[in-house]
């Protein structure tokens, strides 16, 4: 069992300054932004005395008999090293040939996790020395790992060698040296190396069906499957999982102006930089034509944003002939803080990426946008959300309007100003379904408020009419766009569908929200007529709620002076004439007369 070993006398003094000055290779503790974490499931129970080699080997073989993954084997080996062999910590470091470094993940006896990268060029580092020469190293202290409370602990570095190729290292440290335990650990580490090799061979065997042929990354199908598994693991362990989504800016223009070969060259370059910038446990894949995604296990939102910054910096340093600097848009989302549902998590990541794209076009610099920090009801956020849903609608049948209403119902309305902001954003999103009516709801609200104030109504009633007017057309969220945007006259069947929007707005959108129930009469009855020929209730005269009568006039006036799919905007004088003729027939006579007096001044208001 004894391997060829050599001692490195206090080698840490030669490499500490270098490692501390390098932000990529220096170890990072739990509290650090990049690779910190805490594994709550790995609480140890302490060393149980002198180890019996045969008992240890038998226990290890028994426990690993049905284990398939490298991570679970490493966890099992860690438990034995801590509880049976008396070590203070263990660490597994696997080589990443893309970034030319070892990714070190250390777990101590209390369950704290530390991670770092060590470049293979750091030949004075005993870890790299052991890896390159494939020889175990006994060391007097592990100061080079840069964890203060583990300083002055002796340890052993064991190369993970299989078929004469070193795949990484296994490290363990203890205050008390025990040669027999080191030998037992070496045997167990050899088993770990064998499993790693088998897993690599299995992955290569399945490579053709799981790998994107252009980039060498995971393909979309496999990326989705891996994300599903990581979310399940995170749920079981109580850990976060983050996603980074990267979109290459202007790739369509590049393909058009320089050819698809140049576009493919850029996609491959970005994929290569992503591979070089991530850890061994991270999973990178091609999400779409010019979109890449990275799954980050055991990574919270702040750490994911830090990694995204690192990826962006790596990409921004690249220059392409005839194109120049490569620019990308990057969005980040995290399970479970952003969403616990896989599909919604991806939607939020894409939304963040679209916002990043919009901000990048405005500022010229890449903005890392986290879904955790998005104000959903911001106009840019809503537009980006709509773009994501529109893209997915044909693929998975996701409906933008339904998602919008769900978000509206789940919103915690903390204040009246917050309520107005959210309601205004929702109405604006509905207006945007028809480019002829963008801004319609806000204009109607302004006109209705002006008429209400002319009548000297109480402030609370004015505010209710103002909000009701903003939301008067919210039911159009359930009307197909081909009907809303039809340039000609609607058929009877289409008109029957259109007439449902007041009821949809009242029942589907407003009724579930207690704070908005007083607005239901305005929204549901703003299309009633004074003569009883309106809809949906055929209410007549003063049966029509007072607020709905005011909004009805304001709605009609703005529609008359606006461009419509079937006609150009009318002049103010012509619109006023139509209101005058309809007073007492379609609209309340007294309210209409008062509105006609103030109408010309309303059109000059900002």
The domains of the chain are located at 5-205, 209-374+382-387, 399-606
* pLDDT higher than 60, residue 46: no
Q: What is the pTM of this model?
A: 0.49
For domain 399-606, give the CATH superfamily.
Hypothetical protein af1432 (1.10.3210.10)
Instruction: Work out the average pLDDT over 529-540.
Output: 95
Please tell me which residue, 494 or 49, carries the higher pLDDT value.
Answer: 494
- Residue 144 · residue 129 · CB < 8 Å: no
* Beta pairing partners, 92: 105, 170
Give the pLDDT mean for 550-564. Answer: 91
Pick the CATH number of 5-205 from 3.30.450.40, 3.40.50.300, 3.30.930.10, 3.30.360.10: 3.30.450.40
Please give the class, per CATH, of domain 209-374+382-387.
Answer: alpha beta
pLDDT reported for residue 598: 93
* Confidence (pLDDT) at 484: 78
> Distance between alpha carbon 478 and the CA centroid of its chain, in Å?
27
Signed CA dihedral, 472, 476, 482, 488: sign only: negative
Structure confidence at residue 437 (pLDDT): 57
- For 110-119, b where at least 16 C-beta lie within 10 A, e where not — what string? eebbbbbbbb
> Cα separation of 130 and 120, whole Å?
11
Instruction: Give the HSE-up count for residue 343: Cα atoms under 13 Å, Cβ half-sphere.
Output: 8
pLDDT of residue 23: 35
Residue 177 reports pLDDT greater than 50: yes
Q: How far, in Å, CA of 8 to CA of 14, rounded?
A: 11
Q: What pLDDT, on a 0 to 100 scale, did the predictor assign at position 25?
A: 35
> What pLDDT was estimated at residue 5?
43
Higher pLDDT, 390 or 364: 364
The alpha carbons of the chain give a radius of gyration, in whole angstroms, of 33
pLDDT digits (tens, 9 = 90+) for 187-201: 889 888 888 888 777
For residue 416, give every residue at least 6 positions away whose Cβ sits within 8 Å of its Cβ, in sequence order, or none.
463
Residue 452: predicted pLDDT: 95
Does residue 300 contact residue 372 with C-beta atoms inside 8 Å? no
Q: What ranges in 101-178 are assigned the alpha helix state H?
A: 126-133
pLDDT bin (cut points 50, 70, 90) of residue 169 is: very high
CA gap 553, 482 in Å, rounded: 26
CA 415 from chain centre, in angstroms, equals 27
Any bridge partners for residue 165, and if so which?
162
User: Half-sphere exposure of 457 toward its Cβ, with a 13 Å CA cutoff?
Assistant: 20
Place 436 in a pLDDT band, splitting at 50, 70 and 90.
Answer: low
Residues 511, 518: Cα–Cα separation, whole Å: 9
342 C-beta neighbours (distance < 10 Å), count: 17
- Which secondary-structure segment (H or E) carries 394? helix 379-396
Give 327-370 as a DSSP string: -EEEEEEEETTT-SSHHHHHHHHHHHHHHHHHHHHHHSS--EEE
Alpha carbon distance 198, 103 (integer Å): 20
Counted residue by residue, the chain has a size of 606
DSSP 505: I
The stretch 542-571 carries a mean pLDDT of 90
CA-based angle 120:207:308, to the nearest 5?
50
CA distances to 122, 191, 352, 354, 595 from 375, rounded to whole Å, are 45, 50, 11, 14, 37
Helix (H, G, I), strand (E, B) or coil at 555: helix
* CA separation for the pair 520, 517 (Å, rounded): 5
When mean pLDDT is compared over 145-159, 306-320, 578-592, the highest value belongs to 578-592
Residue range 2-29, pLDDT digits in tens: 444 444 334 333 333 333 333 333 333 3
Q: Please state, in angstroms and rounded to a whole number, the distance separating the CA atoms of residues 250 and 283.
A: 25
Query: At CB < 8 A and 24+ separation, what contacts does 498-503 make?
Result: 499/527, 499/535, 499/536, 500/475, 500/536, 501/473, 501/475, 501/476, 502/475, 502/526, 502/527, 502/535, 502/536, 503/475, 503/536
Q: Tokens for 537, please give them.
A: 């209730």
Residue linked to tokens 């007369």: 593
φ and ψ of 291, to 5 deg: -120, 135
Alpha-carbon span 382 to 375, nearest angstrom = 9
Cβ neighbours of 158 (radius 10 Å):
25
Report yes or no: 137 and 6 within 8 Å, Cβ to Cβ: yes
Mean pLDDT of 365-381: 78
Q: What is the mean pLDDT of the chain?
A: 81
Cα–Cα distance, 53 to 183 (Å, whole number)? 9
Pairing state between β 5-8 and 136-139: parallel
Task: State mean pLDDT over 234-248.
Answer: 94
Answer left, alpha or beta for residue 111, where phi above 0 means left and psi between -120 and 50 means alpha.
Answer: left
The DSSP annotation for 221-258 comes to: HHHHHHHHHHHHHHHHHT--EEEEEEEETTHHHHHHHH
Q: Report the relative pairing of strands 136-139 and 155-162 from DSSP bridges.
A: antiparallel
Quick check: 449 pLDDT over 90? Answer: yes
Q: How far is CA 595 from CA 282, 447, 571, 606, in A?
A: 64, 9, 16, 18
pLDDT confidence of residue 50: 62
- In this predicted model, what pLDDT tens digit does every residue of 385-423 receive, in sequence order? 666 665 654 444 445 566 677 777 777 776 777 777 778
What pLDDT score does 392 carry? 57
Residues 6+ positions from 257 with CB-CB distance below 8 Å = none
In whole angstroms, give the CA distance from residue 332 to residue 220.
18
Mean pLDDT of 36-42: 37
d(CA 45, CA 38): 17
Poorest-pLDDT segment among 386-395, 469-478, 509-518, 548-557 = 386-395
């Amino acid at each position: 069992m004894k391997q060829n070993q050599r001692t490195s006398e206090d080698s840490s003094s030669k490499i500490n300054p270098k490692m501390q000055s390098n932000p990529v290779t220096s170890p990072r503790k739990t509290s650090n932004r990049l690779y910190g974490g805490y594994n709550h499931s790995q609480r140890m129970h302490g060393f149980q005395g002198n180890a019996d080699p045969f008992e240890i080997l038998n226990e290890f073989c028994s426990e690993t008999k049905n284990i398939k993954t490298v991570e679970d084997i490493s966890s099992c080996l860690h438990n034995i090293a801590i509880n049976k062999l008396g070590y203070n910590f263990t660490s597994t470091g696997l080589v990443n040939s893309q970034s030319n470094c070892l990714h070190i993940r250390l777990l101590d006896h209390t369950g704290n996790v530390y991670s770092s990268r060590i470049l293979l060029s750091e030949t004075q580092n005993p870890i790299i020395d052991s890896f390159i020469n494939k020889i175990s190293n006994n060391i007097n202290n592990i100061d080079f790992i840069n964890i203060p409370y583990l300083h002055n602990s002796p340890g052993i570095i064991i190369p993970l060698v299989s078929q004469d190729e070193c795949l990484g290292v296994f490290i363990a440290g203890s205050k008390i040296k025990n040669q027999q335990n080191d030998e037992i650990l070496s045997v167990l580490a050899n088993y770990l190396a064998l499993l790693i090799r088998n897993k690599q061979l299995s992955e290569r065997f399945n490579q053709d069906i799981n790998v994107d042929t252009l980039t060498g990354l995971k393909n979309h199908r496999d990326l989705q499957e891996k994300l599903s598994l990581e979310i399940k693991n995170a749920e079981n362990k109580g850990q976060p999982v983050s996603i980074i989504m990267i979109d290459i800016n202007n790739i369509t223009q590049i393909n058009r102006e320089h050819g698809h070969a140049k576009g493919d060259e850029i996609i491959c370059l970005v994929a290569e930089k992503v591979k070089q910038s991530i850890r061994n446990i991270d999973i990178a894949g091609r999400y779409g034509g010019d979109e890449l995604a990275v799954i980050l296990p055991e990574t919270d939102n702040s750490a994911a944003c830090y990694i995204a910054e690192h990826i962006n910096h790596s990409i921004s340093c690249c220059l392409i002939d005839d194109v120049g600097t490569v620019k990308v848009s990057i969005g980040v989302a995290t399970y479970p803080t952003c969403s616990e549902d896989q599909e919604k998590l991806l939607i939020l990541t894409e939304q963040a990426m679209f916002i990043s794209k919009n901000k990048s076009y405005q500022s010229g610099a890449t903005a890392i946008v986290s879904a955790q920090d998005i104000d959903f009801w911001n106009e840019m956020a809503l537009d980006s959300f709509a773009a994501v849903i529109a893209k997915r609608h044909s693929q998975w049948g996701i409906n933008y309007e339904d998602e919008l209403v769900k978000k509206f119902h789940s919103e915690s309305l903390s204040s009246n100003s917050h309520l107005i902001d959210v309601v205004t954003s929702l109405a604006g999103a509905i207006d945007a379904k028809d480019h002829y009516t963008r801004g319609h709801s806000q204009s109607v609200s302004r006109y209705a408020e002006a008429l209400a104030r002319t009548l000297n109504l109480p402030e609370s009633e004015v505010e209710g009419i103002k909000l009701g007017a903003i939301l008067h057309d919210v039911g159009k969220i359930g009307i197909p766009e081909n009907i809303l945007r039809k340039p000609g006259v609607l058929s009877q069947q289409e008109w029957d569908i259109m007439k449902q929007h007041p009821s949809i707005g009242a029942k589907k959108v407003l009724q579930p929200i207690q704070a908005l129930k007083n607005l239901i009469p305005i929204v549901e009855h703003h299309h009633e007529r004074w003569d009883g020929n309106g809809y949906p209730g055929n209410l007549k005269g003063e049966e029509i709620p007072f607020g709905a009568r005011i909004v009805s006039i304001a709605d009609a006036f703005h529609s008359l002076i606006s461009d419509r799919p079937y006609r150009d905007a009318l002049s103010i004088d012509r619109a006023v004439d139509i209101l005058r003729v309809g007073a007492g027939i379609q609209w309340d006579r007294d309210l209409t007369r008062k509105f006609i007096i103030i109408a010309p001044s309303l059109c000059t208001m900002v």
